[in-house]
Amino acid sequence: MISANVSVFSIGKAVGRGGGAVPFDLQYLVVAGGGSGGTWSGAGGAGGLLQGTSTLATNTVYPVTIGAGGAQQTVNTGHGYNGTNSTFQLLISVGGGGGGQPGQAGSDGGSGGGNPYNKLTPVGLGTAGQGNAGAGQNTGSSYYGGGGGGGSASAGNSGTSSNGGVGGNGLSVTLSPFGLGYFAGGGGGGSYSTAAGLNRGGAGGAGGGGRGGDNNFAANGSANYGGGGGGGGAHISYPSNFYGGAGGSGTVILVYPDSFTATFTGGVTSSTTTSGGFKKTQVTAAGPSDTVTFG
**Picking from 141-150, 171-180, 225-234, 285-294, which range would have the lowest pLDDT averaged per residue?**
141-150
Q: How many domains does the chain have?
A: 1
pTM assigned to the model: 0.91
Q: Which of the two residues, 35 and 15, has the higher pLDDT score?
A: 35
The band of 13, judged by pLDDT with boundaries at 50, 70 and 90, is very low
- 70-80 pLDDT, tens digit each: 999 887 778 99
DSSP string, 151-181: -SSS----B-SSSPPPPPPPEEEEETTEEEE
Query: What is the reported pLDDT for 83?
Result: 98
Domain that includes residue 110, residue range:
1-295
Q: What pLDDT does 11 receive?
A: 39
pLDDT in tens, 214-223: 877 899 999 9
Residue 59 has pLDDT above 50, yes or no: yes
pLDDT band at 5 (very low <50, low <70, confident <90, very high): very low
Model confidence at 18, pLDDT cuts 50, 70, 90, reads very low
Mean pLDDT for the chain overall: 89
Cα separation, 86 vs 26, in Å, equals: 18
Q: Where are the alpha helices (DSSP H) in the chain?
A: 8-15
For the stretch 275-282, contacts whose Cβ atoms lie closer than 8 Å and that sit 24 or more positions apart, written own/partner, are 275/177, 275/178, 276/177, 278/176, 278/177, 278/178, 279/255, 280/175, 280/178, 280/253, 280/254, 280/255, 281/253, 281/254, 281/255, 281/256, 282/224, 282/251, 282/252, 282/253, 282/254
Confidence at 194, pLDDT banded by 50, 70, 90: low
